[in-house]
Amino acid sequence: MKAIDIICVFSAAGLPDDEIEKGKDIKSISEIHQDGNEFKVTVTAGTKVVLYSFTVGAECELETFTGEKAKTVVHMDGNKLMVCLKGIESVTELNGDTIINILTFDGIVYQRISRRIS
């Protein structure tokens, strides 16, 4: 599978074209707080702020790209968080000051690499 642009993933997942166009150049900042198996993740993209709270291995409710909420379970294997939400598989690897996130949907793969800023 070839890694491609996130716009293809958004489009395939059903995000409307006008929403994709509005958000394609917005940078996001993610804050991740971990306390054992408890995680709190705050994602700020432009003026939108989304808070995700979950416990590894327990059912939780997360929000999709389209704003829809769905129940799922986040799993952890070593330093990787794995979740499937509405057909989108997400693997997030926490490695020192680097976060590698791989999204897979309907055969489309997107990889994003983020670095710690503080």
Would you list the DSSP string of 4-56?
A: --HHHHHHHTT--HHHHHHHTT--EEEEEEEETTEEEEEEEETTEEEEEEEET
Question: Does position 2 have pLDDT exceeding 70, yes or no?
Answer: no
Per-residue model confidence (pLDDT) at position 24? 63
User: What value does the mean pLDDT take over residues 48-55?
Assistant: 92
Provide φ and ψ at 111, rounded to 5°.
-120, 130
Residue 104 has pLDDT above 60, yes or no: yes
Domains of the chain and any CATH numbers = 6-24+56-115 (2.40.128.20)
Higher pLDDT, 3 or 69: 69
pLDDT of res. 33: 92
Could you give phi then psi for residue 86, rounded to 5 degrees?
A: 55, 45
pTM above 0.85, yes or no: no
Average pLDDT for residues 19-47, to the nearest whole number?
82
Q: What pLDDT, on a 0 to 100 scale, did the predictor assign at position 1?
A: 42
